[in-house]
Amino acid sequence: MVDNRYATALVIACVLSILATVYLSVAIGTQHWYQYSSPTVRGEANVSELRSLYDEFMTGEFDEKTYSDTLFRLNGTVGLWWRCVLVPPSAHWSREPDPKMLLECRNFTLLEQFTPKYKEPGNHNSGEDMLRTYLWRCQFLLPLSSLGLVVLAGLIGFCACLCRSLTPTLGIGVLHLLAGLCTLATVCCYLAGMDLLHRVSMLPDKVDGSLGWSLYLALISSPLHMMAAALLVWAARSHSQNYYRMTAYRVA
């Protein structure tokens, strides 16, 4: 029979784990990790250039410099799997005084996720930037690893419930701790990668960048997983100690 304290800890840990997993899943599937604020397009000047950038962004081949420049100039947002820009619905961008902007997105394919980054974006002769390349790959793989660890923990927990055993609880707590660390590492890799990108690709004048709500969701999910891990480890250790004490008392 499980003590009420341990049962309460396990329930709270399950709720925290579910919240953290939902937050992380939403963060992975949305594009608002980093967003740019660009000046409004006015007049005929530069409209053809922006239109050309947009067409290349939507239909052209994958190129880091091309899509980065488009994100800079067209109020872009970029996440782990998506890159998006805000554009007017009409082809005649400059003729509408206050057009209603539409969000147009393209996803990063699996092949593009593993495409090398170069020291000068767009220049394949400049040499591969190993640091940016592996930061990008880590920010793609780590959140998937985090979700995988939580799913594995959930399967073990389900089996433990069927067997009415608290023995695997310690292992489940460790898995949640690793998941929280993977999520935290994802955010760190993403921020470091964006900082390095901005060092080699200077932002145009009057263009500002800021963190988006998707990144904050991922950041929140990390401590939630860690709190769930702490509760699970506490419940496992305390129950184990009480069990051994009761066993020693009965033997005596």
Q: Which two tokens stand for residue 63?
A: 């190129």
Taking a C-beta distance cutoff of 8 angstroms, is the pair 52, 243 a contact?
A: no
The answer to whether the beta carbons of residues 90 and 105 sit under 8 Å apart is no
Kindly report the pTM of this predicted structure.
0.85
pLDDT at 145: 94
Residue 21 within any structural domain of the chain: yes
What does the block give as tokens for 34?
Answer: 């980093």
Q: Sign of torsion, CA 206 207 213 218? A: negative
Q: 9 is written with which tokens?
A: 């800890």
Is 251 within the bounds of a domain?
no
55 belongs to a structural domain: yes
| pLDDT of 241 above 60 | no
Domain count, the chain: 1
Domain enclosing residue 19, as ranges: 2-114+124-239
pLDDT of residue 183: 95
Give a yes or no: residue 172 inside a domain.
yes
Whether the per-residue pLDDT at 229 is higher than 90: the answer is: yes
Are the C-beta atoms of residues 187 and 218 closer than 8 Å to each other? yes
Is there a domain that residue 252 lies in? Answer: no
Residue 119, in any domain of the structure: no
Tell me the pLDDT tens digit for each residue of 106-122. Answer: 888 888 888 888 888 87
Does position 67 have pLDDT exceeding 60, yes or no? yes
CATH number for the domain harbouring residue 142? 1.20.140.150
Is residue 247 assigned to a domain?
no
Contact by Cβ (8 Å): 193, 132: yes
Task: Say if 189 falls within a structural domain.
Answer: yes
